Structure 1
C-alpha cells in the first residue's frame, strides 16, 4: 500500500508541477489557444489562473517533499486535500460550462488525490500517529 501511495503521489506531483507551471508561465490567451479542453480559462481572470497555477505547484511539492525529507509529513495529506478542492472546483466549472466529456480527467485526478489523502491521513499508511 505504501508503494502505491508513493507512486500515485509522484504521478500527481509530476502532473500538477507541469500543469501549474504552465499556468504560471503562459499567458491566459496562450493557455486558451493550446487545447480545446482549456476553454475554462475564458471564465477566469489572468490573476486567478496564476493563483490556480501557484496552488497546483505548491500542492505538487507538498505531495512528495515533506515525506521524502521526513519533515512534517502530515503536509502530504493536506496537499492532497488541497488538490481535491481544486479538482472539485474544476469539475464544477466543467458542469457549468457543459463540458462533460472533459470532466472525466478532472474526476480521475480527484479520485487519485482522494486516495493519497485517505492513505496518508487515516488509512493504514497514515503519517498521522
Structure 2
C-alpha cells in the first residue's frame, strides 16, 4: 500500500505542478482553450497567481518532506490542504454549472483524501 500511496502522491503532485501554468499565461489565452477553462476569467490575475503559488507549494509539500525525511508529517497535512483546495475548485465548477468538469476535481479530491488518510493512519511515515 505504501507504493500505491507514493504513486498517487506523485500523480497528484504532477497535476498540481502542471496546473501552475495559470500564473505564467494570460487568462484570456487559457480561457480560449475551451469551456472547461472559462472559470479562469472569474478570478483576477493576482488571485490566479496566489492559487498557482499554493498549488506549487502543495506539489513540493507532498513529495519533499517524505523524500528528504525532514518533517514527513507535512505530507498528510499538505494532502488535507489540497483536499480543501479541491473542495473550493469543485464548488466553483458547480456554481458555474460545469458538472462534467467538476468530476475531475472530485477525482483529485478523492486522491488527496486517500493520501491524507493513508499517511495519517496505517501507512504514516514513522521516524
Deviations 1:46-94 (Å, cap 9, x if unpaired)?
1111111110011011101110000010111111111111100011001
Greater CA deviation, 88-97 or 31-40?
Answer: 31-40
TM-score (norm: length of structure 2): 0.95
Deviations 1:3-39 (Å, cap 9, x if unpaired)?
111000001111111112x012112222212232111
The equivalent of 1:15 in structure 2 is 15
The equivalent of 2:4 in structure 1 is 4
- 1:128 deviation in Å? 6.4
The separation in 2 between residues aligned to 1:69 and 1:35, in whole angstroms, is 39
2:122 to 117, 121, 124: 124
Provide the secondary structure at the position in 2 that maps to 1:34.
coil
Checking the alignment, whether the CA contact within 8 Å between 1:120 and 1:128 is kept in structure 2 is: no
- What is the aligned residue count? 127
1:39 and 2:64 correspond:
no
- 1:2 deviation in Å? 0.6
The equivalent of 1:115 in structure 2 is 114
TM-score (norm: length of structure 1): 0.93
What are the equivalent positions in structure 2 for 1:1-129 lying under 5 Å apart?
Answer: 1-20=1-20, 22-121=21-120, 123-127=121-125
- 1:127 deviation in Å? 2.9
Q: Which runs of 4+ in 1 moved over 2 A?
A: none
Q: Which runs of 5+ in 1 are unaligned?
A: none
